[in-house]
């Protein structure tokens, strides 16, 4: 019988800026003051099937090209025109690793796919994670090794199959890679609580832009830009979050999630939607901050 490994405590990424907390086990999520633990060695990957970009990428690129502020430089244009490569710093086939600093932007969008474990497959664990930059270009995309027995691959939704997880990078390696990418950056997503829980990470609240918490992206929420600063990070009582598929159709005029989901396609759609609201959203947050400081000074 293999000896049980002692669970490490929490870690924080070493780069400068606000901390992204890393947790090795779920029970440590509420124990933020534990000592830094050691990472688990990354297992040597074996051959994987390559990750294929979503079929809507051409449409997404066309929409996104109208969202970027200003005219990008020739160098930037050339880089944006390049297709996603499967260059891998870790040497793992099927992993898209474009994490060179020149590819990183102030805001990054993330999306994860889960599989089910446990007797009924109801407990979710991370099986794939994708990070894209402000231009919608893939920065990092990988499947993740699952140490528990997978009882429900949820393929009809997740797109995950057994072959995808064979030889995939270890969770600890992926977790630390993502934490380093997100450090000091605005994190864009749809239902980020679910993604961060799967990654066992905590991102600074002031750097989170979750579409499900933004009124124009909710049922019964404010319908257009120019929303009140006081409500930009809280769903109105009458507003329920809209699904990403619905938002993509309503705001972008794109059809996504036709059958199996792709975290790459979903992350890109999420970034596109954020770009539509970005200026007003960020202005509102600045106003919120000023009002909060003014209120404290009066008290």
Question: Tens of pLDDT along 10-44?
Answer: 555 444 556 677 766 555 444 433 332 333 333 33
18-28+50-61+82-292: CATH class? alpha beta
pLDDT of the residue at 63 = 56
d(CA 14, CA 250): 40
Residue range 248-282, pLDDT digits in tens: 999 999 988 887 888 999 999 999 999 999 999 99
Residue 277, classed as helix, strand or coil, is helix
Q: Which helix (H) or strand (E) holds 130?
A: strand 123-132
HSE, side-chain direction, 13 A CA sphere, residue 94: 20
Residue range 122-153, pLDDT digits in tens: 999 999 999 999 999 999 999 999 999 999 99
Strands 150-152 and 138-143: unpaired
Positive or negative CA dihedral for 82, 170, 56, 275?
negative
CB atoms inside a 10 Å sphere around CB 253: 9
d(CA 102, CA 106): 11
Domain boundaries, the chain: 18-28+50-61+82-292
d(CA 248, CA 217): 10
The residue assigned the tokens 């750097």 is 207
pLDDT of the residue at 83 = 46
CA–centroid distance for 72 within its chain: 25
pLDDT of the residue at 284 = 83
Mean pLDDT computed over every residue of the chain: 76
Q: Which helix (H) or strand (E) holds 197?
A: helix 192-199
pLDDT of the residue at 290 = 81
Farthest-apart Cα atoms in the chain, separation: 64
Residue range 185-204, pLDDT digits in tens: 999 999 999 999 999 999 99
pTM over 0.85: no
Q: Which helix (H) or strand (E) holds 60?
A: helix 57-64
Q: Is the model more confident about 201 or about 65? A: 201
Strand partners, 12: 21
């Amino acid at each position: 019988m293999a000896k049980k490994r002692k669970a490490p405590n929490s870690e924080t990424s070493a780069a400068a800026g606000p901390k992204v907390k890393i947790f090795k086990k779920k029970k440590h999520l509420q124990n933020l003051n534990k000592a830094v633990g050691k990472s688990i060695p990354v297992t040597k990957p074996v051959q994987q099937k390559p990750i294929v970009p979503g079929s809507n990428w051409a449409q997404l690129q066309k929409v996104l090209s109208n969202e970027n502020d200003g005219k990008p430089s020739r160098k930037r244009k050339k880089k944006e025109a390049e297709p996603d490569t499967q260059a891998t710093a870790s040497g793992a086939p099927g992993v898209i690793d474009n994490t060179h600093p020149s590819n990183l932007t102030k805001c990054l969008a993330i999306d994860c796919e889960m599989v089910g474990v446990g007797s009924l497959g109801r407990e979710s664990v991370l099986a794939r994670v994708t990070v894209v930059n402000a231009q919608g270009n893939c920065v990092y995309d990988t499947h993740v090794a699952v140490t528990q027995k997978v009882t429900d691959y949820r393929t009809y939704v997740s797109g995950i199959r057994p072959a995808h997880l064979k030889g995939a990078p270890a969770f600890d390696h992926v977790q630390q890679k993502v934490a380093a990418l997100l450090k000091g950056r605005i994190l864009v997503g749809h239902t980020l609580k679910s993604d961060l829980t799967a990654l066992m990470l905590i991102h600074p609240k002031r750097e989170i832009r979750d579409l499900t918490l933004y009124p124009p992206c909710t049922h019964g929420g404010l319908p257009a830009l120019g929303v009140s600063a006081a409500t930009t990070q809280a769903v109105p009582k009458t507003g329920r979050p809209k699904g990403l598929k619905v938002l993509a159709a309503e705001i972008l005029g794109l059809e996504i999630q036709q059958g199996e989901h792709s975290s790459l396609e979903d992350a890109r759609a999420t970034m596109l939607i954020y770009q539509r609201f970005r200026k007003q959203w960020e202005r509102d947050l600045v106003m919120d901050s000023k009002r909060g400081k003014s209120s404290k000074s009066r008290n």
